[in-house]
Amino acid sequence: MTSQSAVVAALCEAIEPLPGEPFELASAHVGRVAPLATASERAVVIAAAVAHLVGLGPLEVHLADPHVDEVMVNGSGDVWVERHGMLHRAGAITSEELATSIERILAPLGRRLDRVSPIVDARLPDGSRVCAIVAPVAVDGTVLAIRRFRRRSLPLSAFAGPAGVAMIDELAGARCNVIVSGATSSGKTTLLSSVLSLLSIEERVVLVEDTAELAPDAGNVVRLEARASNADGVAAVPLDELVRTALRLRPDRLIVGEARGPEVVALVQALNTGHDGSWSTCHANSAHDALIRLESLILQAAPGWPLAAIRHHLYRSIDVVVHTRRDHDGRRRIAEIAEVTRDSIEPRVRPLLVEDQIVGVLDRRRA
């Protein structure tokens, strides 16, 4: 068969002006442009043509791969995918194809991406998370990252051995307030999704996220997503406002997808007012660093608060920090579980589990 790209281009040119469903049109006309192709080769050409006409072009095949967790496009046009925790180069995409793909992603969402608004974060209808950046902010050209949405949570055993699984189950049962910390792409949100599967369907769970990524199977769930303002005058709905709103929805457990801004103040205040068993995540290099980061976030959001009061609030509101890590082989796992304690000056952590070995007993329980 002639080169696949040439055949796909010829098929698209033949059917693009015609009325009807792209798949049906491609199936009817593929024999004319590729008369010697086998059935399997024709199926590949049809799929590529449909992706070009109504899908995301060359990216569609990666997004259809169940083993791909993230698809990334660099300014040079190189396409990279994360599969089983490891990055692999997966071909290239032209600037025209990339622009068309981004337009098809954003058009149904009413979002814009241009020199005036050069950065956009959005969510696809299937829950996948999209981040796109254009020049001049993206120096080498348009950059795109699509993080796939997992419809089914991974089991806790994917993150830890029996000891770690048992301790996470104990934290959920004891209704501890927990922060899941870790670096970017260390599995924080994925682990939190797995934890939510442990909760009783009788508990009312209110999820608050900047971009919706969590979709637990629990029955009594309310999901709230922040909204950015846009050029049409639509007002923003920030995460801290949603945290305060969530408290009026009678949550048995409050889940904040990520604490990274002013919402930390609302979160700490919520955890200090009887909302036990709540969970959130934050970026940090260790369990102890998670407390320091939360402390600095509160200082930025509420500079009038005395440092001693901030540290007291953190100690009273957070019981345990679960720290995640991504190993060199791509595996995401629980590296440490630590209980929050304090000395006369600042909150500290006391290790409970390190490298799946129990080294301490949980003292702070709320149930």
Give the confidence band of 310 by pLDDT, cuts at 50, 70, 90. Answer: very high
The pTM score is: 0.80
**Backbone phi and psi for residue 334, each to the nearest 5 degrees, phi listed first:** -80, 120
CB 132 within 8 A of CB 117: no
| Residue keyed to tokens 């043509």 | 49
Question: What mean pLDDT value characterizes the chain?
Answer: 87
Percentage of the chain lying above the pLDDT 90 cut? 51
Give the confidence band of 5 by pLDDT, cuts at 50, 70, 90. Answer: confident
Whether the predicted pLDDT of 20 surpasses 50 = yes
Whether the predicted pLDDT of 13 surpasses 70 = yes
* Residue with more model confidence, 115 or 33: 115
56-149 has which fold?
A: Beta-Lactamase (3.30.450)
- Which of helix, strand or coil describes residue 121? strand
Structure confidence by residue, pLDDT tens digits, 228-257: 777 667 788 999 999 999 999 999 999 999
CA proximity to 324, closest of 221, 188, 213: 188
* Residue with more model confidence, 14 or 241: 241
How deeply is 106 buried, as exposed, middle or buried, from its count of CB atoms within 10 A (0-12, 13-18, 19+)?
Answer: middle
pLDDT the model gives residue 281? 95
56-149 and 156-358 in the same fold:
no
Mind giving me the DSSP string for 144-210?
EEEEPPPSSPPPGGGT--HHHHHHHHHHHHTT--EEEEESTTSSHHHHHHHHHTTS-TTS-EEEEES
pLDDT the model gives residue 1? 45
CB 74 within 8 A of CB 80: yes
The predicted model gives 42-67 an average pLDDT of: 78
* Residue with more model confidence, 18 or 292: 292
Distance separating alpha carbons of residues 287 and 278, to the nearest angstrom: 17
CA proximity to 191, closest of 257, 109, 266: 257
Q: Long-range contacts for 297-303 (Cβ within 8 Å, ≥24 apart)?
A: 297/259, 297/260, 297/261, 297/264, 298/264, 298/265, 298/268, 301/240, 301/261, 301/262, 301/264, 301/265, 302/265
CATH superfamily of 156-358: P-loop containing nucleotide triphosphate hydrolases (3.40.50.300)
In 10 A of CB 328, how many CB atoms?
Answer: 7
Chain center to CA of 150: 9
Whether the predicted pLDDT of 265 surpasses 80 = yes
CB 155 within 8 A of CB 198: no
* Residue with more model confidence, 191 or 148: 191
Q: So where are the chain's domains?
A: 1-54, 56-149, 156-358
pLDDT the model gives residue 54? 64
**Structural Rg of the chain based on CA atoms:** 24
